[in-house]
Amino acid sequence: MKPNETFATCLDCADGRTKEPILAWARKNIGVQWVDLLTRAGMDGSLLSGLHPVIVEDLRNQLGILLDKHQSKHILVSGHCECAGNPVSKEMHRVCIRQVCQMLRSWNLPEGVEVIGLLVNEAWEVERITY
Ligand SMILES: [Zn+2]
């Protein structure tokens, strides 16, 4: 890792279509160079639907490594339209994303880490939905 490299971490769907929009949004809006990705199909829904504790623990462990080793100061939680893994309405994605953000804030995150909810809309544009 070069000294000038900066990272955010995104809990994202596995869908390939969200990756470029989220990277572009992060570069423009939070000034990071890279976005590390933790993905599951329908991440915003699956984190709320009784995932096996081993899977949640695995995600928490991976998140901890990225926050620590990449000094990531932003966790992005994203959901998107046309999602195969969480096929709900745009409004329901907003609800899910906000709830996942709340859940992550209860995860004993390192000091100064901000959790931001993002919805990738039907035009594949990123909307920030939490502040
Ligand atoms: Zn998806």
Per-residue pLDDT at 3 exceeds 90: no
Q: How far is the CA of 4 from the centre of ligand 1 (A)?
A: 32
- Ligand 1 centroid from CA 3, angstroms: 33
Can you spell out the DSSP letters for 34-47?
A: EEEEEEETTHHHHT
Ligand 1 centre from 103 Cα, in Å? 19
Q: Are 44 and 86 in contact (CB under 8 A)?
A: yes
Separation CA 8–CA 24 (nearest Å): 12
C-alpha 23 to ligand 1 mean position (Å): 16
- CATH architecture entry for 7-128: 3-Layer(aba) Sandwich (3.40)
Q: How many CA atoms lie within 13 A of 117 on its CB side?
A: 19
What is the distance between the alpha carbons of residues 28 and 125, in angstroms, rounded to a whole number?
13
Question: Starting from the edge strand earliest in sequence, which strands make up the sheet with 114-120, in order?
Answer: 34-40, 7-13, 74-80, 114-120, 126-128
pLDDT tens column, 10-39 = 999 999 999 999 999 999 999 999 999 999
Does residue 63 contact residue 9 with C-beta atoms inside 8 Å? Answer: yes
The CB density around residue 36, as the number of other CB atoms within 10 Å, is 20
Pairing of strands 114-120, 126-128: antiparallel
Alpha carbon of 43 to ligand 1 centroid (Å)? 7
The model's pTM is 0.95
Which pLDDT band, with edges at 50, 70 and 90, does 117 fall under? Answer: very high
